[in-house]
Amino acid sequence: MDLHTEEKTEDYLFKIVMVGDSAVGKSNLLARFARNEFYPNSKSTIGVEFQTQKMEINGKEVKAQIWDTAGQERFRAVTSAYYRGAVGALLVYDITRHQTFESIGRWLNELHTHSDMNVVAILVGNKSDLKDAREVTTAEGKALAKAQGMFFIETSALDSSNVAIAFETVVREIFSILSRKVMQSQEMKSGWIANGKTVVLEADGNEQGADEQYKKGVCCSS
């Protein structure tokens, strides 16, 4: 993109990571959101892949650079570096496999260890279309999200339920935090990095308390 072209408006670029155990559906969630595609026989991600999606918020063009990280143990050392600079995260589990839900605490610890700030996080219970095979209740997901100060949603990459909402919730919350920071400091200090017309959000804390964030962000599938 030529940021020096006169007709271009101000850009915002947010790095968002997707984490969770292998085969919870991270890649299919991203494929559904980015390209409206679904791959029933998709293979496990090797290393890290990413897609960039554009959104318009309050008249501003926002680009979300979404990184799909491998959930397999042998890739953990490789992918940990990609947490750095992330300002948003989707922590994904499979509602039909309770073990993947139990792993969320470990993924949260890894995220907090390797990221540069308290990222805007949403807990995502994927595969909500598999109601008969459910092992994790919606109430369990809500309770964990509340305890950790995260947003919460249940999705289905297969039928696309709530997929766009999950990503857009994170992006809009990051933009909201950025907007408040810009209003507080036109000089964009304290880690907000300006580069030409592109603003890359890379640092600062999450200003909302867990209860307030939970009340704003909780939603779940029908």
- At 191 the pLDDT is 52
- At 74 the pLDDT is 53
Q: What number of helices (H) and strands (E) belong to the chain?
A: 7, 8
What is the three-class DSSP state of 111?
helix
pTM of the full structure: 0.76
Report the chain's mean pLDDT, rounded to a whole number: 78
pLDDT at 162 over 90: yes
**Domain 11-217 of CATH type 3.40.50.300:** yes
Across residues 158-186, what is the average pLDDT?
89
- At 209 the pLDDT is 36
Domain ranges of the chain: 11-217
pLDDT at 216 over 70: no
Of 111 and 47, the one with more pLDDT: 111
- At 196 the pLDDT is 43
∠ at Cα 122 (54, 32), nearest 5°? 45
Of 152 and 193, the one with more pLDDT: 152
Strand pairing partners for 163? none
Tens of pLDDT, residue by residue over 8-45, are: 455 889 999 999 998 899 989 999 998 888 776 655 55
Neighbours of 40 (CB within 10 A): 7
- Cα R_g (the chain), whole angstroms: 17
- At 79 the pLDDT is 57
- At 194 the pLDDT is 46
- Residue 3: pLDDT band (50, 70, 90) is very low
CA dihedral 20, 21, 25, 28 (to 10 degrees): 70
- Residue 202: pLDDT band (50, 70, 90) is very low
Query: Percentage of residues in the chain with pLDDT exceeding 90?
Result: 45
- First-last CA distance in the chain: 40
Of 167 and 5, the one with more pLDDT: 167
| CA distances from residue 161 to 1, 19, 87, 98 in whole angstroms, order as listed | 32, 19, 24, 21
Of 215 and 167, the one with more pLDDT: 167
Q: What are phi and psi of 176, to 5 degrees?
A: -60, -45
